[in-house]
Amino acid sequence: MSDSHDPRTGEPIPEMCADDKATMAAPNPPSDSGLSTISKATYFKEAALKNLFLVCACVAVAGVGLIFLFVGLKGWPIFAKVGIGEFLTGAKWYPTKGFFGILPLIVNSLLAMAGALVLGAPLAIGTAVFLSEVASPKVRELVRPAVELLAGIPSVVYGFFGLVLLRPIIAQLFGGLGFGLFTVWLILAVMILPTIAALTEDALRSVPEGIREASYAMGATKWQTIWRVLLPAAKIGIIDAIILGMGRAIGETMAVVMVAGNARVIPDGIFKPFLTLTTVIVMDMPYASGDHRTALFGVAIILFIISMLFVASIRVISRFGKGMS
Amino acid sequence: MQSRERIDKRLTNGFALGVIWLAAIATVGALGTILLYVIVNGIGQLTPAFILTWPHGVNMEGGIWPTIQATLYVTALAMLITTPIAVLAAVYLAEYAVQGRLVSTIRFAADSLASVPSIVMGLFGLALFVEGIGMGFSVIAAALALSFLLLPIIVRTTEEAIRAVPKYIRWGSYGLGASKWQTVSRIVLPSAMPRITTGVILAAGRAAGETAVVIYTMGTMINAPLLPLDPGRTMPVHLMLMAQEGINMPAAYGTALLLVLMVLGFNLTARYIGRRNRRMQG
Amino acid sequence: MIRRSTVCLAVAIAAVCLPGLSGCAKADVASQTSLTVTGSTTVLPIAEVAAEDFQAANPGKRVLVAGVGSSAGIESVANGTSDIGTSSRDLKPEEKSLGLIDTKIALDAIAVIVNPSNPVSGLTKAQVSDIFQGKITNWKQVGGPDLEIGLVNRDEASGTREAFSKFVLGTSDFDPTAAVLPGTGQVRSVVAQAAGAVGYISLGFVDSTVKALAVDGIPADEKTVADGTYPLWRTLHFFTKGEPKGLVRAYIDFVLSDKIQNTVVRDAGFLPITEGGK
């Protein structure tokens, strides 16, 4: 979203990826060369400030650690009691009767995520391509704020919209109650769209202009350029965008709980109610106690691990992608 | 044969571009539908009475003032806690950090925090702040939990803002004999301030719309919080409960509209600051 | 620049320290002039409006009311988090040892509702049971059109679900593939909009958008509940830890007063405790 153009020459500055940013730290002033051009007091003050900033940066690490610690501690007893294997692969979630298997929840979360991606990713990538390659500046000024606004709408409002407008329409059109995978896919697709679109647009923008010019010079049409040159060139960024969208889809709660129907089984149709890893917490937490409550914290820590896996996979893919080029 | 290829090429091009236009139209259309629906159904509710009075009666008839106060309070408190830490962390990452294991870990941690599902953050807040430290359902517990959620967002935008400051400005400062901190504090940060402010305001919009985090740390009691230890119900939580109860739908629509207007307000303010900044920079 | 961020930091630290100071003051005030009532969302309307009227009649006193579900309400009054726990169900066996005193405050009936376009107008209790267990899946099996039954259930925190389960299912379980909705109004609006839907809500919330079925031939209305012929009814409770005293006693007496029983309780669609019932 930042204007990455050199203000003097107007040339675009290519987007740096995370590792590059870390290596190219801002230049250090001459005072670091060992010559005593500054007083000892200033030196200590500078060092102290640097350490203060480092502490601030480490708050992020502390945060992750604290989440693991506190949510994990609260959830640990259920793993000890039921066994982590049984917890993850058990096919029955019926805590009030002592069944703590979250497999149906995992499957449902994955189903919801997959459908949202199938619907949302092409739409998002299409919008990103539109913004980056096809739209005139005037139209861009209209569409890009729209995408940013979509990102800003709170998830409760999405859920509310799904509940009051989408659900009755789907019930009318397809029978049943209107809850289920189909409704969730529609809502989630619109929710992850801005995430994927923004990152894909960034990725496309960072492809050097020269490549486009070369493609046009060889007589390619715009679409051929996009399809055969630009999208492959931006492949890593697009994959990152999609993985981030996946993470967002699987972690979404409020929007899903209002339109999913919350039945604790794997649905046998896309218009049947179902429960996911996130919605089980929000549905059960108000009354859960004892082992049930512990199990919900267990689900939370599993969710946390899943989201961290997504982040890690982005890193791995980026490194792999760079190795290739 | 060559002209056949050319026609095929043009047909595919035209078709593909048409599909791309459709994608963009669908996106804008989705936004338009949601906004229009919320506005049309909620606009009737937006009277001064609705905004300024308390809910009363069997189904929360009346106004939603305490939820507005709770939302503003927790958002302000969360921003107050998180902004200084995030800005200073970004200063470190942009100005002082050298590639190494520590920095990689910090970045990984920041990215992880950014993708934590908000309900996990809510349970974390419940476990640590509400029950562990014993704050109970309170504005401060919610603000602390929210600040972990907002930290990576502000760090990211601040870092980008700092890096966007051209290098030659720093060189000029060092050339004059300034120390690193003097350069950062008097040249770089002020120059990046509009972008940083934009990022902060957008993050505030995110905080205002959070539900899952707030519901487990601030509770659901209708209350206009005055002290940080008071519980309260924010607008997104109120919307969720109203929608779930399903009995007073007009109030739900009104709350939804007000919430969307609030977030829109944050968004437009941030955009305005950004545009003004760009215009000034020429 | 330095000054601004320092000031911000100082304010942030102060804001975090402030709770420590305010915490002491709060505890003394709470027990005397304000009281907390949490629990059933079914009882919520009575508790809230009564609270408003009570506060108007007793300036300076505050009654904080929240609807979190009967189970949560019982738990919070047992562990001291709230002064009164409201419930739309009786105590479970494991809750009987918590030392809670029961004050009955109203009567309620549960109605089985269907979409107004559904020609079925009555079912036997056995049929209702089979439908909600998932054994009957099509309306034609009970004399209706060939339409799949859309089963709507309440969440497990709901006192209404608890009561319905006890009356209708006995020891059997609900169909796990049923949609689980967290609020009465939602059940009502879903049933009102989906042709094949069936659900259950408090009789007090039945309006013209849904149709209440007769159970075992007895239609669901105030008369049949009052004379006890309608089979699905329950009492609404205020639970307190030990005998209610002081402000709590005053509030409970207020709720039991004739004025509130005949206005607020009836307005919410329930029946006064003084009338009928066993």
CA B281 – CA C17 distance, rounded (Å): 41
Per the domain annotation, does C26 fall within a domain? no
Average pLDDT over residues C14-19: 49
Answer yes or no: is pLDDT of C30 > 50. no
A177: nearest CB among C75, C176, C194: C194
With contact defined as beta carbons under 8 Å apart, do C159 and C200 qualify? no
Asked whether residue C135 falls in the same domain as residue C56, the answer is: no
Is position C11 within any domain? yes
Asked whether residue C189 falls in the same domain as residue C260, the answer is no
Q: Looking at the structure, do residues C219 and C159 belong to the same domain, yes or no?
A: yes
Specify if C120 maps to a domain. yes
Long-range contacts of C3-9 (CB under 8 A, 24+ apart): C5/B84, C5/B87, C5/B88, C8/B80, C8/B83, C8/B84, C9/B84
Backbone angles phi, psi at B260, to 5 degrees: -65, -40
Same domain? For C147 and C208 the reply is yes
Where does the pLDDT of residue C273 fall: very low under 50, low under 70, confident under 90, or very high at 90 and above? confident
Q: What is the pLDDT of residues A172-193, one digit of tens each?
A: 999 889 999 999 999 999 999 9
For residues B254 and C234, which has the higher predicted lDDT (pLDDT)? B254
pLDDT exceeding 90 applies to what percent of chain A?
55
**Percent of residues, chain B, with pLDDT higher than 90:** 52
| C11 and C45 within one domain | no
Ramachandran area for residue A10 (φ above 0: left; ψ -120 to 50: alpha; else beta): left
Least confident of A266-280, B70-84, C46-60: C46-60
**C155–A265: do the CB atoms touch at under 8 Å?**
no
Residue C25 forms part of a structural domain: no
CA-CA-CA-CA torsion sign (C130, C133, C137, C139): positive
Residue closest to B24 by CA, chosen among A140, A240, A113: A140
Whole-number Å distance between alpha carbons of B48 and A185 = 38
Amino acid identity, position C84: I
With a cut of 90, say whether residue A245 has pLDDT above it.
Answer: yes
Find chains touching chain A: ≥3 CB pairs under 8 Å. B, C
Note the pLDDT of residue C3.
Answer: 65
Please tell me which residue, B31 or C205, carries the higher pLDDT value. B31
Given the DSSP bridges, would you call strands C122-123 and C214-215 parallel, antiparallel or unpaired? parallel
Contact check, Cβ <8 Å, A281/B119: yes
Task: Please tell me if residue C68 touches chain A, with a CB cutoff of 8 Å.
Answer: yes
Give the count of domains, chain C: 2
Question: C9 with C146, same domain?
Answer: yes
Higher pLDDT pick, B222 / B117: B117
Name which residue leads in pLDDT, B200 or C2.
B200
Q: In terms of domains, do C101 and C73 share one?
A: yes
Inform me whether the pLDDT recorded for A120 exceeds 70.
Answer: yes
Picking from B138, B220, B229, B237 by the largest number of C CB atoms within 10 A of its own CB, the best residue to mutate is: B229
Output the pLDDT for position C265: 83
pLDDT of residue A198: 92
Regarding whether C221 and C169 lie in a shared domain, the answer is yes
Give how far Cα A10 sits from Cα of A17, A21, A26, B195, Å.
Answer: 21, 21, 21, 19
CB pair distance less than 8 Å for B252 and A160: yes
- Angle subtended at Cα C46 by Cα C41 and Cα C47, rounded to the nearest 5 degrees: 75
Cβ neighbours of A310 in B, within 8 Å: 115
Integer Rg of chain C from CA: 23
> Which amino acid does the sequence have at A284?
D
**Residues B265, B273: contact at Cβ < 8 Å?**
no
pLDDT classification of A13: cutoffs 50, 70, 90: low
Rounding to the nearest 10 degrees, give the CA dihedral for residues A224, A230, A236, A238.
-80
Residues whose CB is less than 8 angstroms from the CB of residue A233 and which lie 6 or more positions away in sequence, other chains included = A207, A211
φ and ψ at residue C212, rounded to 5 degrees: -95, 130
pTM for the structure as a whole: 0.84
Of C18, C49, C64, the CB nearest to B58: C49
Residue A2, CB-side half-sphere exposure with 13 Å CA sphere: 24
Q: What confidence tier does A278 reach under pLDDT thresholds 50, 70, 90?
A: very high
More confident residue, A321 or A71: A71
Nearest C-alpha in A relative to B148: A63
The residue-averaged pLDDT of B178-185 equals: 84
Q: Let me know whether C251 and C131 are in one domain.
A: no
Task: Provide the residue range defining the domain that includes C86.
Answer: 34-106+235-275
Check pLDDT > 80 for residue C240. Answer: yes
- Residues C179, C244: one domain? no
pLDDT in tens, B50-96: 888 888 765 667 788 999 999 999 999 999 999 999 999 999 998 88
Rounded CA-CA distance C87/C73 in Å is 7
Task: Tell whether C192 and C148 lie within a shared domain.
Answer: yes
Task: Locate all alpha helices (DSSP H) within chain C, ordered by sequence.
Answer: 2-33, 44-57, 70-78, 125-133, 159-164, 184-193, 222-226, 246-256, 258-260, 266-267
Say which CATH number the domain at C146 has.
3.40.190.10
Of B170, B161, B165, B191, nearest in space to B86 by CA? B161
Q: Does C154 touch chain B (CB under 8 A)?
A: no
pLDDT of residue C56: 87
